[in-house]
Structure 1
Amino acid sequence: MQRQEMSSIQTDLDEAPKTLKFRNKIGYMIGDVGNNFLFDMGQLYLLKYFTDQLGLNSAVAGTIFLVAKIWDAFMDISVGTWIDNRTNIGKRGKFRPFMLWAAIPLALLLIANFTMPDFSVTGKLVWAYVAYMLFGTVYSISNVPFGSMITAMTKNSQERSELASYRQAGSNFGLMMATIAFMPIVTALPNEKVGYTVAVVIFAIAGVLCQWFAYANTKEVYQSAPKPKFSKEEIKESYKALFKNKPLITVSIVNLFTFSAFNLKLAVQVYYCQYVIKDLTAESLLGFFSIGMVFVSVFLTPFLTRKFDKKIVYMLGCAIWAIGDILGFFLASNTFMLVLLTSVAYLGNGFTSALNWALVSDCVEYGEWKTGIRSEGLVYSFFTYFRKLSQALAGFIPGVVLALVGYVPNQAQTATALMGIRELMFFYSATLALVTIVVMWKLYPLTEKRYKNIMGELLAKKSTGAVMATAAINKN
């Protein structure tokens, strides 16, 4: 009997069992389509809506993003703590119910951000701050459980990479549809301000339906038992454990770089198309070809991670990204070259985006191995805390830079303003992609071999604990 138990443990050491069905992967993918239908509208178009439709100063509008996203970052941590310490976990699971219940409030708040009443400038600012901060709060309640759920769906490293790739495919499809379809809907209506509202209502409804589809087609295979009671001291220990998790800290820092670069690029490209190459149709072409290229990297990621460590594939993506953007700064002076070189950059970005969620899931296991504390929600929310900070930068920096270089909405721009837009579009992201390569190489400690050893030790401890518990019961 002991030999059989050891054999079973050894099998687990080599690789955790596969638990995902195809519909689970598709369901999780569609969930992130919904996330992006609900989220990307603000990240892509809200700054331009504030500056060009509401007449807000670009620096003031950028500050709305800064304040709201810093608020969101703290909300992520709060939601993560709440999720980890829930005591009323029902048959729907620990994470899935949030997709069901948060979808409609999130959609309504998104619409509120693009339906500004005819207030004074002060009234518009108050509405913008309150609506966007409330939206971010509800998005945290929806998204933190969604991202944390990977650890409950599978413990198999390869399946986590695949699930992360499916999620990124969904994210990119949602983003692609947002860039292809949103502005054509806006400009098709005689009043652009109304066009923004109509477009966002369409995407909000689609986002809710996607979230509900994900809820119906995902499953929490590994459900943690609810904690009967938690103390402030236990919460403090959970927070302390985060700072002993070197892989998590490293991934969070590089995400501050890469995600701010990615989101800033998305926010600026509509300005680049309108004022630098004077072709607004290029925005839709970017959505189709450039973001479509991310699907290529998402497709390739599982194959590459079978041969190389996730860390190596991540750095490779950053290198491709940097090359595309450096060339873009010098050569993207027309629609063809802009789409071509931005496609190269997004191909590289796709590798980093596809791997982020798999890396964070690995960090959960590392944290449990290192400290004995398992906290999926807190780990994920710590990671998204940095993503929200990156989104704050992505909204704030363009607003400030556009103000400094003398941007004037709906007018011919000066040479200084055009150079500022060009530098925001390409140099910011290229520089941070290169910095990410250095940080990952120097600081990220997890290889596939080490991860499997860590999982083996965790499984062995749990198996030993189960054997001891069974022996104690039999003895009694």
Structure 2
Amino acid sequence: METNSHKLSVKEKIGYSLGDLAANLVFQTLITYLAYFYTDIYGLETDDASAVMLSVGLVAAFGFNPIIGALADRTNTRWGKFRPWIFWTAIPLGAAALLAFSTPDFDYKGKVIYAVVTYTLLLLLYAANNLPYSALSGVITGSMPERNSLSSYRFVAVMFAQFFVQVFMLPIIEAAGNGDKAVGIEAVMTWLAIIGTVMLLITFITTRERVVPTPEQSSTIKEDLSDLIRNKPWVIILIITTFIFITLAMKGGSYVYYFENYIDKPALTEFIQPILNFLADIGVNFFGENPVSAGFGLFNAGGIIFMIVGITLSKRFADKYGKRDVFKSALFVSTLFILVFYLFSPTSILLIFMSQILHGFFYGLTIPLLWAMIADVADYSEWKTNRRATAIIFSAMMVGLKGGLSIGSALVTFILGRYGYVTKEAANVSMNEIVQPESAILGTKMLVSVYPSIPFLICVGLLFFYEINKKMEVDIERDLLQRR
């Protein structure tokens, strides 16, 4: 390996982080609204929505990601290995995101086919863009403290994307469509596609690849896969990534149903009205008059703001105690604040909001650490084998991410279906006219409490077997710098 300076400028850190801001305008929309879009806007039955999200998602996870990873590791251009992919896919990814959330006037079978085709295209292009983008963090610098810093910049950007999508997007969709959510979501996705494309191009322009394999290094895909299978920290992180994104997709996709069907609307209105009045007095009036969309936005806003606080503190804790121990402790505490949602009545609005805030803070501590740990796993593999295969390691993690997202999203509609949730297609009336059965209301409660807690608790257990602690981080970095 040959490296130049490991110190990154603020400009490059910001430029790199814009790539994740762009990608998460898509990704957070998938987590938060895809299930709701398919059942309540586009008009698919719960079982058909589950089948589309699960089948296409698993094909993307186990098909697209390994192929893109192998290709990216073997890409050689004057721009590097990974940066060209960001450039090549910037415009197509924006177009695919718009198509996936469009509502053409097809018959039911045509709707299902269109959903399969557009979701497949979106996940293919997302893999071709985001996997090389993620791998870029492993070659942009060889310094672990700089990676911790880069991850913090990156995930502050992620939180801004999440903030927009989860706080403002639903009220903006309603306003842009004058109450017609199908029209509104197409208008919003058009602008997100344009903005995201520009941000990805800025990432391409402002970043550089510094950790470059020596010319004599070569390996086959078979050798790369063999290295992965023998890499115990990689196996653990792969499983953890999968379970984390099952939880994120499950609870993230369920909150909108929770606010629509479980929370008491008069109690919610009474609670949020002073907040809305204060915001209006200072000129912030994005939430409209619908208490559900306003409450949903404010609920997410509290969690995200405190996630950002957690992210900003993450590097300090990780540098002192090591990524593994901070990740394990913070993830466990954050899970407790998911579980308690099971105890809340529909009128416990203050407790619901406070639990979201506390969950957001503790989960925020873990957010930069996961991707920094994946980069550490790439270093660990090189440390053990003297071969570096950054993209294929990240592609394997993307398998876990996409697999978890697909399973978690599919579980939302699948579980709602088992609890008797009534969709727009089944009722053949406007969603505003549907009264959900008590069983479906219980299902929405379970989907934001008990069910998403299980994968997180499994992750906490797995972290006891993850061997890259603080001391090993220092040893790996020192040894690799000497070799390079």
Q: Could you tell which deviates more after superposition, 342-351 or 362-371?
A: 342-351
Which of 302, 320, 333 is equivalent to 2:346? 333
1:26 aligned partner: 14
Q: Which amino acid aligns with 2:36?
A: K
Cα separation, 2, equivalents of 1:249 and 1:390: 15
2:474 aligned partner: 452
Aligned residue runs from structure 1 range 46-195, under 5 A: 46-73=34-61, 74-86=63-75, 88-90=76-78, 92-188=79-175, 189-190=177-178, 191-195=180-184
1:439 aligned partner: 462
Aligned residue runs from structure 1 range 16-415, under 5 A: 18-73=6-61, 74-86=63-75, 88-90=76-78, 92-188=79-175, 189-190=177-178, 191-224=180-213, 234-277=220-263, 278=265, 279-331=292-344, 333-334=346-347, 335-409=349-423, 410=431, 411-415=434-438
Question: CA-to-partner distance for each residue in 1:424-476, whole Å, 9 max, x for gaps?
Answer: 111122222222111101x10001211222233334344xxxxxxxxxxxxxx
Cα pair 1:58 1:400 within 8 Å, conserved: yes
Cα pair 1:84 1:376 within 8 Å, conserved: yes
Cα separation, 2, equivalents of 1:186 and 1:225: 50
TM-score, scaled relative to structure 1? 0.89
Q: Which amino acid aligns with 1:360?
A: I
Cα pair 1:255 1:386 within 8 Å, conserved: yes
TM superposition shift of 1:113: 1.0
Which of 419, 437, 442 is equivalent to 2:442? 419
Cα pair 2:54 2:410 within 8 Å, conserved: yes
Cα pair 2:325 2:469 within 8 Å, conserved: no
TM-score, scaled relative to structure 2? 0.87
Q: Where in structure 2 are there 5+ consecutive unaligned residues?
A: 266-291, 424-430
Cα separation, 2, equivalents of 1:17 and 1:229: 24
Q: Could you tell which deviates more after superposition, 136-145 or 211-220?
A: 211-220
Query: CA 1:393–1:287 in 2, change beyond 3 Å: closer, same or farther?
Result: same
Cα pair 1:320 1:344 within 8 Å, conserved: no
Cα pair 2:143 2:477 within 8 Å, conserved: no
Cα separation, 2, equivalents of 1:400 and 1:226: 50
Cα separation, 1, equivalents of 2:230 and 2:337: 36
Cα pair 1:250 1:444 within 8 Å, conserved: yes
Cα separation, 2, equivalents of 1:413 and 1:98: 46
TM superposition shift of 1:203: 1.5
Cα pair 1:165 1:354 within 8 Å, conserved: yes
Cα separation, 1, equivalents of 2:247 and 2:405: 9
Cα separation, 2, equivalents of 1:428 and 1:163: 33
2:268 aligned partner: none
- Percent same amino acid at aligned positions? 26
Q: Which amino acid aligns with 1:55?
A: G
TM superposition shift of 1:367: 0.6
Q: Where in structure 1 are there 5+ consecutive unaligned residues?
A: 1-11, 463-476
Cα separation, 2, equivalents of 1:64 and 1:274: 23
Cα separation, 2, equivalents of 1:20 and 1:461: 21
Q: Could you tell which deviates more after superposition, 40-49 or 267-276?
A: 40-49
Cα separation, 2, equivalents of 1:286 and 1:153: 36
Question: CA-to-partner distance for each residue in 1:337-382, whole Å, 9 max, x for gaps?
Answer: 3222112112222222210111011001111122232100000000
Cα separation, 2, equivalents of 1:227 and 1:422: 57
* Secondary structure of the corresponding residue to residue 149 of structure 1: helix
TM superposition shift of 1:194: 0.8
Cα pair 1:161 1:358 within 8 Å, conserved: yes
Query: CA 1:46–1:349 in 2, change beyond 3 Å: closer, same or farther?
Result: same
